[in-house]
Structure 1
Amino acid sequence: MHLTGIEGSSGTNKSVPVYKYKDKCLREELYDQCWDGKPVPNIVHYIFFGIYKLSFVQFLSIWSIHTIQKPCVILIHGDTQLSGPYWTYLVRTIPNIIRVRKTPPKEIFKNPIKVIQHKSDVVRLEAVRDFGGIYMDNDQIILRSLDPLRNYNFTLSHEFDDNLSNALIMSCRNAPFVNLWYKEYASFNTSLWSHHSCILPYKLLQRYPHLIHVENKTFVNPDFRHRSIIFDGNFNWSYNYAVHLYIRFYNLKHFNFIDIRHLNTTIGSVARYVLYGHRELCSD
């Protein structure tokens, strides 16, 4: 893999197919082409609302899913055309990226949705419900194949003992659990930050445990309360399927391929593993 010079490259989006979200032919074609006998198809979903230039961490997320999960297709749902050297490198290197036009919803069940994070919470459920597959936050990094978990109809992971994270969602198409979760948005209240996204699925787990497989913090560890160890310490992520980086709390403008070669931190070892196949500090 030749990563040198990515920051200075340029290009266009002309090679990336673009479809409308409601294109039924796209859904059926992908479902047929990506069907391999497992309940959850190997289709990956990202949501980019209001983002124009791909960051290094977002590149790292997509690169991790491409190299480790090897999905049938990567769907980029959003309302903007992504650009920048990292995006250019991805579309030149990964042949199975598809852009899906999706406008951020203004309401759900007549309840207003005011912040972009809540809009994304709704659309990620719609995406895995309508297409099936694996939803990824754009600062979620895959560390090993999710294929063993694709045998379950629906999978989430604890972040804390009393919640379930929605940063990584695995679902068959029209999974009963995701349909129940979506219907609960009839009571959505924009002033409750994480209730419908993390607390509500945990409550549904108590009522419908047979509809969901739950991982014990293998998608999100370190958790939100211990997120500083990602950038300031070293965490043993050997047992993780993925790690969530919580990038909105950090200034990562100067975070790039050169930095991660010598960072003796969790993010350094994770980035080196994804990009170079090893965790060790680089010698030069």
Structure 2
Amino acid sequence: MSRIKLILIVLLITCILSVVTLYSILGNSQYYKKYISLKSNICNKLVFEKPEDFNGFNNVTGEPNGCKIVPNYVHFVKFGQVEFNFPHTVCILSALKNQNPDKIFFHTDVLQFKGKYWDLLLATPGFKEKLVINRISLPKEIFGQPLNKNWLRYHGGDVTRLRVLLQYGGIYLDNDSFIVRSLDFFRRFEMSLGWKPGKSLGNMVIVAHKNARFLHEWLESYRRNYYPKRFYYNAGEYPAQHILMKKPYLIHREEKVFGNYGPFKDLYLKPFPQWREYYAIHTQSNHLYQLKKLSKDLKYPVLFNEHNILNYPVAYRDLVRSVFPLDAYENNKTLFF
């Protein structure tokens, strides 16, 4: 045996022994409990009772001890919609399965949800135990200014997501936002969202402490700057241009992995396995009219369901399959449109 091989074997054995020793130490309940107790004490002492408490907070690196300061709550806002469609149900399942939140809130003016997809959700293990329905009214004004009647549900939803996060904190998701993998990493920050400087911010996925400074400034900006004639002005344009461009330190920003700048066409027109690299994806399931047809039989727009999705050999099908029980429908591949 050569000297080099002997040295490599000795190094390998040393590494294995080191790993075994470390594992035995950490595996010892006494050491492990002390570590958990110490970290828990540190995290429990963190108090952000008002926005000013975040002054000096580093939103690039997050809480230095790795403490999750944002509660593991997921929030959906649903006004005037009694039933759930298939794409929305898929996104809810992604939040349940991939985020595993402590609570899933539906902030709604609906007295009782119904329909086959609601029944499916209620039958999904763990859903009912986490479900919280918070009945609220659709806002019709903000700081005494009437919201645009033509976009009332949308502008009202923009306002509601801010108010909800200011009350509870947590993770807000648009109805067509899909959670690819856990957002727990971002719970270490004051507030996280998708934003490329120079562009509008994405309000489709927001992870925020209830006393995040930007949350307060964002809602307060409606007081003198609500512009009802622009659909996305107060939701994405104004807060990016007039607040974040001046004070980018207020948030932890992600330019890609929240999926608000894409990959729309990639999801619906090709396999695109890279979708798994994202943390979240804005699927834009209500905008399929913008797409060209895949073939003579596979056309857009289409209202996807658990049947016709099986015929589309694209990334969105794989995304659906990762959380929705499509196997139950595999044996019935007749085209449904």
Question: TM-score interval w.r.t. the shorter chain?
Answer: 0.7 to 0.9
1:264 and 2:313 equivalent? Answer: yes
SS at match of 1:243: strand
TM-score, L = length of structure 2: 0.67
Partner of 1:61: 91
Match runs of 1:127-276 below 5 Å: 127-158=164-195, 162-186=199-223, 187-203=225-241, 204-220=243-259, 223=262, 227-235=264-272, 236-250=274-288, 251-253=301-303, 255-275=304-324
Residue 258 of structure 1 deviates from its aligned partner by 2.9
When residues 219 and 154 of structure 1 are mapped into structure 2, their CA distance, relative to the original with a 3 A threshold, is same
Partner of 2:72: 42
- Residues of 2 paired with 1:103 and 1:268: CA distance? 35
Say whether the 8 Å CA contact 1:133–1:173 is kept in structure 2: yes
Counterpart residue identity of residue 95, structure 2: I
When residues 85 and 276 of structure 1 are mapped into structure 2, their CA distance, relative to the original with a 3 A threshold, is closer
Of all paired residues, the percent bearing the same amino acid is 31
Residue 159 of structure 1 deviates from its aligned partner by 6.7
Residue 202 of structure 1 deviates from its aligned partner by 1.6
Residue 166 of structure 1 deviates from its aligned partner by 0.2
SS at match of 2:160: helix
TM-score, L = length of structure 1: 0.79
Q: Which has the higher helix share?
A: 2
**Uncovered stretches (5+) of structure 1, i.e. residues with no partner:** 1-35
When residues 263 and 199 of structure 1 are mapped into structure 2, their CA distance, relative to the original with a 3 A threshold, is same
Partner of 1:88: 119
- Residues of 2 paired with 1:252 and 1:72: CA distance? 34
- Residues of 2 paired with 1:277 and 1:59: CA distance? 13
- Residues of 2 paired with 1:51 and 1:160: CA distance? 34
**Uncovered stretches (5+) of structure 2, i.e. residues with no partner:** 1-65, 289-300
Say whether the 8 Å CA contact 1:159–1:165 is kept in structure 2: no
Deviations 1:134-187 (CA, angstroms, capped at 9, x unpaired): 000011110011000110010110278512100011110121110000000111
Say whether the 8 Å CA contact 2:271–2:313 is kept in structure 1: yes
Say whether the 8 Å CA contact 2:306–2:326 is kept in structure 1: no
Say whether the 8 Å CA contact 1:128–1:171 is kept in structure 2: yes
Partner of 1:104: 138
Say whether the 8 Å CA contact 2:194–2:255 is kept in structure 1: yes
- Residues of 2 paired with 1:57 and 1:73: CA distance? 21
CA RMSD of aligned residues (A): 2.3
When residues 48 and 170 of structure 1 are mapped into structure 2, their CA distance, relative to the original with a 3 A threshold, is same
Say whether the 8 Å CA contact 1:54–1:87 is kept in structure 2: yes
Deviations 1:226-252 (CA, angstroms, capped at 9, x unpaired): 633332233321321111121222354
Partner of 2:25: none
Counterpart residue identity of residue 183, structure 1: E
- Residues of 2 paired with 1:153 and 1:277: CA distance? 37
How many residue pairs match? The answer is 243
- Residues of 2 paired with 1:242 and 1:160: CA distance? 19
- Residues of 1 paired with 2:209 and 2:115: CA distance? 33
Residue 91 of structure 1 deviates from its aligned partner by 2.0
Deviations 1:212-269 (CA, angstroms, capped at 9, x unpaired): 000112112553xx6333322333213211111212223543x222333442112112
Counterpart residue identity of residue 88, structure 2: Q
Q: Computing the radius of gyration over CA atoms, which structure comes out larger, 1 or 2?
A: 2
Partner of 2:37: none
Partner of 2:295: none
Say whether the 8 Å CA contact 1:159–1:220 is kept in structure 2: no
**Which aligned segments of 4 or more residues in structure 1 are displaced greater than 6 angstroms?**
none
- Residues of 2 paired with 1:99 and 1:231: CA distance? 32
